[in-house]
Amino acid sequence: MRGRRIVARATAAATATVLVAAGLAVTGGTAVAHGGGYSALIQRASYGVPHITARDFASLGYGVGYAQAEDNICLIAEQLVTVNGQRSRWFGADTDNVASDLFHQKAIDDRAAERWLVGRRDGLSAPSDEVRDQMRGFAAGYNAYLRGARKKINDPACAGQEWVRPVTELDLWRANRARMVRASSGALADGIVAATPPGADGSDAKVSAPRAEAVVTARDGAPAGVGSNAYGLGRRATTSGAGMLLANPHFPWDGDERFYRMRLKVPGRYDVEGAALIGDPLVEIGHNGKIAWSHTVSTARRFVWHRLTLVPGDPTSYRYDGRTRKMTARTVTVRTPAGPISRTLHDTHFGPVVVVPGRFDWTTDTAYAITDVNATNNRALDGWLAMGRARSVGELRSVLDRRQFLPWVNVIAADRHGRALYADHSVVPRVTDSLAAACIPAPFQNLYATSGQAVLDGSRSACELGRDRDAAVPGILGPANLPTLVRDDYVTNSNDSYWLANPARPLVGYPRIVGDERTVRSLRTRLGVHQVRQRLAGTDGLPGRGFTTGRLWDVTLGNRAYGGELVRDDLVRLCEAQPTATASDGTTVDLTAACAALRGWDLRVDLDSRGSHVFTEFARAGGLRFADPFDPAAPLTTPNRLAVDDPRVRTALADAVKLLGGIPLDARLGDIQSEPRGTERIPIHGGWPEAGVFNMIINQVQPGVGYPKVRHGTSYLMAVELGRDGPSGRQLLTYSQSANPNSPWYADQTRLYSAKGWDTIKFTKRQLRADPNLVTYRVGERRR
C-alpha cells in the first residue's frame, strides 16, 4: 500500500512504547496480542482522519480512544472534569462553574450513571455488551496514550495540568448521560441549583437562572447554540438515480462539542465513515456502504413541567391524589479553591424542582418540578450502533421505531435504492392532545400552544405521562405519534418543525409538544427548500438539472442571503430616499455609506462579498420586518415585502451603522470575518441565519475590527452518494481535526473550508489506498 509505514514521530514513539510494554510483539506494522488484549489498526489519511479497524468492539473502542486522545486530549480531559463536578476546583468558582458542578455532583450522588447500566443488556433496558466493550476499550485506549504521553503533551490548553488524569468507564457514561440531557435538565441546571424553598435560611433572597430562562422563552426545544441543515435526496433528485445526503450540522467551533471525523470497522459487524462528537466512541453522522444519515436539532420539548400544590405551612411537601408527599432534600457539596460550597437541592417523584424567576417561582403555595425523559435514555449508543448496521431506509426506520433513542435530533437519510427519509423519532414526553386538554391548567394553555412547553397538573395521577402501546419505554410518545416521511424525491430540515420536510406532503396532526404546524418558516428553511427546487428545475445558474455531489457542495456553499434577495432593493430605495435615521439611543445617523454598500452588495456572504455585514447587522437588529402577512397556503414565499413604512426598519439600519463604527461598510467579508489559527487569520465565509443564510456562521462583531472569531456554525460537511460501486463524494471538518495548536491537523481543513475545498469520501479500499498521505500504525495492549 502506497505510503504505508509504522509512524516515526512523537505519537508513534508513544505507540511503540505502549505495544512493547504491554507484551505485544511489533512486527512489520502488525501488533500480535499474546493471551488476548486490545489491538487496533489505525490508518491516518489526509487531514489526520483515522480509519480504525479492529477484530472486536473493545479493540475498536481502544483505537478510537487512542486516536482521539492523540488529537484532542485536552478537550476530553476537560469534559471529564465537567461531568465529575470539578470545574470550580480547577478553573475557578465563578457562577457558571459552581452551578455546573452542583448539577453534575447531584447526578453522581444519585448514582445516575450507575443506574443506567442495570438491567437486561439488550440495548433497550440497559446498554449491550458490544457498547459496554466499546466504552471499556475507549477508556483503555485513552489511558494508554496518556501513560505514554503525559510528559510530552504539547497542547498548551492542558500541558502539565493535574486535571488531566486517567479516565474510567464510569466517567464516559457520565459524559454520555450529560449529552443526553443537554436540551432538558442540563439546559435547566441553573434553575435546578437555584431552587430554594421560600423562607429558607430566613431569607427570600432573589435568585437568577438565566440559562433556564432562555429555555423557557425559546419558541421551541432546540438547545441554544446548535442547529443544522440536511437534505435527503431520492432517485428523482439525483442525476444517477442513487440516494444522496447532505450533512451540515451547526455546532460550536470550540470545546467538547466539536465533531471528530473517523471511519470505524469491525469486519463483518460494523463499517461506518463519518463524524462523532469528541469523546463519543461511535459515528453519529455518516454512512456505511448502503445508507447515509444526518441529524438536525428537533423542535420537540424534552421535559414537562408539573405544577405542585404545596401543603400550607410546609413548602417542601405537596398534594398528590389527596395525599401529602414529601420532597426529597439532598445536600450537595463541591470543592473550590476557597473551600467547599454546599447547596440543598430538592426532588419530587416527578423529578427535580426548578425555579425560573418571574415565570416558575417557588412560593408558599406553588412549586414546579420537571420530568426529563432523557434522564433515563441509556439507549443512544446502541441506537447509533444499530443505525450504522442498517442497509436501507426501511431498516433504519425499524431501528428508530424499536429503539427510540435520539435525544434531541431529527434523522434525515438516503439509501442506495434512491429512497429518502425524514423522521423526528426523538425522545419526546408523552403529552397527547387529550392529556394537554385535560391536564394543562388554563393559565398555561397559551404557553403550550405557542412554545410546546407543557405545564401539567401535578396534583393528580391522571396527569402523569403514561405509556403509548408502541413506545420503547414509558413516558414518551410512541412511533405512531411521531412524524415520519419517506420520499423518492427529497426531504429536508433546517431546524424548523417537521411540517414542511417536503412541501408536497406536509406533515400535520402531531402533538404540539413535537413542533408547530402552519406557522411561518425561517428564512433558512425557506432557502433550503428553494435551493432544492431550483436545482431540480435547473434554474439556479448551475449546469443541468438534479444533483451530483459536486452540485450539492456548490449549492450548500453558495452563500446566498435569502433575506437580502427579498428586501435589499426596497431597503436601498428607502435608505436613499431618507438618508438619515434615528438610532435606538436617540442619536442621528448618516445612512449614505450604508445605502451605497448595500446597493453594491452581491447578495451573498462569500469572501469577496462587500457590504454583507451591513445587512447582517441590520437583520440582527430586527430590521427584517415584513408588510405582508404569512399565508399558510404559501409558506415558502410569505412574508416577502419589506415594511418600508415601519420606523423600526430605519432604526435597525441606523443601529447597524453605529455598531459597525470603524469598520468600512463596503469591506470585503473575507477581510473582516476570520478564524484565528495561531498567528494566522483564516478568512471565513458564511453568515447569520437572521439574514437568511443557509451556510450558517455565528460570531460577534468587535467594533473597529470585524468578526475575528467563529463561535459556532457549519462544522462537519458531507455530501455523499450511495452508488453501485460504493459511497463517493466530499466531506470536511471546518475547524480541523485537532484543537491543539501544535498539531499538524490544527488548521488544514479550516483553510480548505475557506477556499470552498473538500476532502473525498474514503470508504472503499481503492479510495483509501489512493490517499498519498496515508500513514499506518497499530495500538494495543494486553487486557487486564
The residues annotated as belonging to the active site are 228
Half-sphere exposure of 700 (CA within 13 A, CB side): 2
Angle, to 10 degrees, between the axis of helix 57-83 and the axis of helix 95-109? 130
DSSP secondary-structure letter at 246? E
Backbone angles phi, psi at 388, to 5 degrees: -65, -15
Q: CA-to-CA distance for 747 and 739, rounded, in angstroms?
A: 9
Long-range contacts of 661-665 (CB under 8 A, 24+ apart): 661/703, 661/704, 662/703, 662/704, 662/705, 663/613, 663/701, 663/703, 663/704, 663/705, 663/706, 665/593, 665/594, 665/596, 665/597, 665/611, 665/613, 665/614
Give the position of cell 414537562. 304
The DSSP bridge partners found for residue 761 are: none
Q: Are 315 and 364 in contact (CB under 8 A)?
A: yes
H/E stretch holding 143 reads: helix 129-149
DSSP secondary-structure letter at 521? P
Measured CA to CA in angstroms, residue 208 lies from 306, 362, 438, 705 at distances of 20, 13, 32, 33
Q: Say how far residue 708 (Cα) sits from the centre of its chain.
A: 23
Measured CA to CA in angstroms, residue 530 lies from 534, 540, 560, 688, 702 at distances of 6, 9, 11, 18, 33
Per the document, the length of the chain is 784
Residue 683, Cβ density class (10 Å: 0-12 exposed, 13-18 middle, ≥19 buried): middle
Q: Say how far residue 373 (Cα) sits from the centre of its chain.
A: 18
- DSSP one-letter string for 559-609: -BBHHHHHHHHHHHHHHHHS-EEE-TTS-EEE-HHHHHHHHH--SB-STT-
The greatest distance separating any two alpha carbons of the chain, rounded to the nearest whole angstrom, comes to 83
Cell numbers that stand for 482 in this block:
411521531
Single-letter amino acid, residue 152: K
- DSSP one-letter string for 255-312: STT-EEEEEEEETTTEEEEEEEETT-SS-SEEE-SSEEEEEEE----SEEEEEEEEET
Q: Are 455 and 305 in contact (CB under 8 A)?
A: yes
Q: CA-to-CA distance for 461 and 485, rounded, in angstroms?
A: 35
Q: CA-to-CA distance for 25 and 782, rounded, in angstroms?
A: 11
Q: CA-to-CA distance for 46 and 261, rounded, in angstroms?
A: 11
Q: 127 CB contacts (<8 Å, ≥6 apart)?
A: 116, 117, 121, 135, 378, 379, 381, 382
SS3 of residue 689 by DSSP: helix
Q: CA-to-CA distance for 357 and 205, rounded, in angstroms?
A: 11
Give the position of cell 502539565. 160
